């Protein structure tokens, strides 16, 4: 019965893009729509889990989760995740977090001048890595949107971030669209979920997460 498989489990999901302000009215963001993250939250809800959804700015109306936290920047998302993560059994990091932010945010609107404008960027913290390298981390699931060498880059990310499961998709197919093809990479190898609606993919993904998570818990009990 899918409706009870994740009953009693707390799942933390991040979704959407982040927006990094440059000045009072401008900023850096990306094309993430939030559709996949919201679909994952919805699929996990259908399986009876308690969901905290932390979302960057999107045009979607959020699913009726247990707790919805709206954030703008990567730093805000990190703080929200840090405040919630101790409650989480599973952390699913779907958000397309901006890799960089402006080194300083100008309070006033930048003026147009007849010259090149250089904006200094500084790296953002890696939220998922912060969580996956905690002494006692929740079961962590990452996403990788790549434009080339999908499997190779995704496998490298899974190793670097020490993730039991990484979900890879082609950025040009997935970002903003209603459908995507997913490749799930875990310790057993790869599983392809052929192109389908994001909510269908999210349901398959959640079943896969449930199965890996239950196996892990059973092994923990044995040891």
**Measured from the CB of residue 111, what is the shortest distance to ligand C5P in angstroms?**
31
128 is in an annotated binding site: yes
36 backbone dihedrals φ, ψ, rounded to 5°: -70, -45
Contact positions with ligand C5P (CB under 6 A) in 119-148: 124, 126-128, 142-144
The 148-187 site mask, x for binding ligand C5P (CB under 6 A), equals ---------x------------------------------
Residue 161 counted as an annotated binding residue = yes
Nearer to ligand C5P, 7 or 159 (CB): 159
Q: Which of 30, 169, 180, 219 is catalytic?
A: 30
Nearer to ligand C5P, 3 or 123 (CB): 123
* Active-site residue flag, 149: no
Answer positive or negative: Cα dihedral of 201, 205, 206, 211.
positive
Beta carbon nearer to ligand C5P, 84 or 126: 126
Site string for ligand C5P, 87-116 (x = CB under 6 A): ------x-x-x-x-----------------
For helices 35-46 and 198-222, what crossing angle results, to 10°? Answer: 60
Beta-sheet pairing, 10-15 with 90-93: parallel
- Asked whether the beta carbons of 116 and 36 are under 8 A apart, the reply is no
Residue 80: HSE in the Cβ half-sphere, 13 Å Cα cutoff: 23
3-state helix, strand, coil in the chain (%, to 5): 35, 30, 40
Q: What is the DSSP letter of 92?
A: E
* 10 bridge partner residues: 50
Q: Residue 157, annotated ligand binder?
A: yes
Binding site members for CTP:
99, 109, 125-128, 143, 157, 161
Q: Which residues bind ligand C5P (CB under 6 A)?
A: 14, 74, 93, 95, 97, 99, 124, 126-128, 142-144, 157
């Amino acid at each position: 019965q899918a409706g009870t498989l994740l009953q009693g489990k707390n799942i933390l999901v991040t979704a959407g893009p982040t927006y990094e302000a440059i000045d009072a009215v401008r900023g850096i963001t990306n094309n993430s729509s939030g559709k996949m993250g919201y679909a994952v939250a919805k699929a996990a809800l259908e399986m009876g889990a308690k969901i905290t959804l932390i979302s960057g700015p999107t045009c979607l109306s959020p699913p009726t989760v247990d707790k919805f936290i709206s954030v703008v920047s990567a730093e805000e998302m990190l703080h929200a995740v840090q405040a919630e993560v101790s409650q989480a059994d599973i952390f699913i990091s779907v958000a397309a977090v901006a890799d960089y932010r402006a080194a300083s945010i100008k309070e006033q609107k930048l003026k147009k001048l007849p010259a090149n404008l250089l904006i200094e960027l500084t790296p953002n913290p890696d939220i998922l890595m912060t969580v996956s390298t905690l002494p006692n981390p929740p079961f962590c699931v990452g996403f990788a949107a790549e434009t080339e060498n999908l499997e190779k880059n995704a496998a490298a990310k899974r190793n670097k971030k020490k993730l039991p499961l990484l979900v890879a998709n082609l950025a040009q197919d997935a970002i903003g669209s209603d459908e995507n093809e997913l490749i799930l990479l875990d310790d057993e190898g790869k599983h392809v979920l052929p192109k389908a609606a994001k909510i269908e993919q999210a349901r398959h993904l959640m079943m896969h997460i449930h199965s890996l998570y239950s196996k892990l818990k059973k092994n923990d009990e044995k040891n």
